Amino acid sequence: MAAMECELVGQSLVVRLTGELDLVAAARFKEAVEEILDRRPVRHLYVNLAGATFVDSAFLGSLLGRYRRISREGGRMGIIGVPPQVRPALELSGIFRTMDEFRSERDALSAG
């Protein structure tokens, strides 16, 4: 079962995900992030995947859905700490053509 932790840092939301990011995790991610975006002034969204062991197409779709919302509102979305076992899925999906990749949360947060 995947675990998720959300932290607001200024106008940025950092979401840390661990485990298998499947259909269930995708729904939880979407629901949690949308709830925060509806309530708080979030400009940038950063998703830390350092602890992820697997990602499926449902989760990739939920990432792209949040990207559309954040970018429509003038913000940026980035992916942090992509582990080798999930990189191929992200590359095939084209995520890196739409979102910036960062080594660490500090790099992402200092980018803007």
- Grouped pLDDT means (10 residues each) for the chain, 112 residues: 92 97 97 96 96 97 96 95 96 94 96 74
pLDDT value of residue 112: 64
- pTM of the predicted model as reported, rounded to 2 decimal places: 0.96
Delimit the domains of the chain by residue range.
Answer: 3-110
Residues whose CB is less than 8 angstroms from the CB of residue 83 and which lie 6 or more positions away in sequence, other chains included: 49, 50, 51, 52, 53
Q: Which fold has domain 3-110?
A: Transcription Regulator spoIIAA (3.30.750)
pLDDT value of residue 2: 86
Burial-class residue 101 by CB neighbours within 10 Å (0-12, 13-18, 19+).
Answer: middle
State the sign of the Cα–Cα–Cα–Cα dihedral 103, 106, 111, 112. Answer: positive
